[in-house]
């Protein structure tokens, strides 16, 4: 179910939040979503907006398209397109769990770690990094025609 920013507070303390650009979406994301769902809380996927993805590359899919695809996954209960930063979403939502891939261990932004600590949000790192969108794009761009 797609939800708006103003609806985040309705799910405070109930959900496991996953978050990312998901452009391109790939099999590693599917594993990430499924493992997050296995933690026992409904999963809310926070989708980075096009302007964030544009800092890395021109979006392959628009934020609305990415959100629609992600929302179709059985493991995802709620999908939200971020209007601000991940920190803004964490502050508004205050999820039960903040779930990231293990590649974020020791590099999660300090402001996110501090907010989670002060708000009682448990940070969970999953060993689900099967590929990265950035690596897939780089391999595609450098592959011979």
- Secondary structure (DSSP) of 82-136: -SS-HHHHHHHH--SEEEEEGGGTTTS-HHHHHHHHHHTPEEEEES--S--HHHH
Select the more confidently predicted residue: 97 or 25.
Answer: 97
Mean pLDDT of 11-32: 92
Q: What is the pTM of this model?
A: 0.89
Select the more confidently predicted residue: 103 or 106.
Answer: 106
CATH class assigned to 2-103+118-131: alpha beta
**Of the listed ranges 5-14, 29-38, 101-110, 121-130, the one predicted with least confidence:** 121-130
Mean pLDDT of 79-101: 97
pLDDT of residue 139: 62
pLDDT of residue 102: 86
């Amino acid at each position: 179910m797609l939800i708006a920013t103003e609806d985040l507070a309705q799910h405070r303390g109930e959900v496991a939040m996953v978050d990312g650009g998901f452009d391109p979406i790939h099999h590693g994301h599917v594993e990430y979503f499924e493992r997050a769902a296995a933690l026992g809380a409904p999963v809310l996927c926070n989708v980075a907006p096009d302007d964030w993805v544009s800092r890395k590359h021109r979006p392959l899919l628009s934020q609305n398209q990415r959100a629609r695809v992600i929302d179709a996954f059985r493991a995802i209960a709620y999908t939200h397109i971020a209007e601000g930063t991940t920190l803004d979403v964490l502050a508004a939502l205050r999820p039960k769990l903040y779930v990231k891939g293990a590649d974020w261990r020791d590099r999660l932004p300090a402001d996110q770690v501090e907010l989670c600590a002060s708000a009682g949000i448990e940070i969970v790192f999953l060993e689900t990094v099967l590929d990265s969108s950035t690596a897939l794009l780089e391999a595609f761009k450098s592959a011979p025609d």
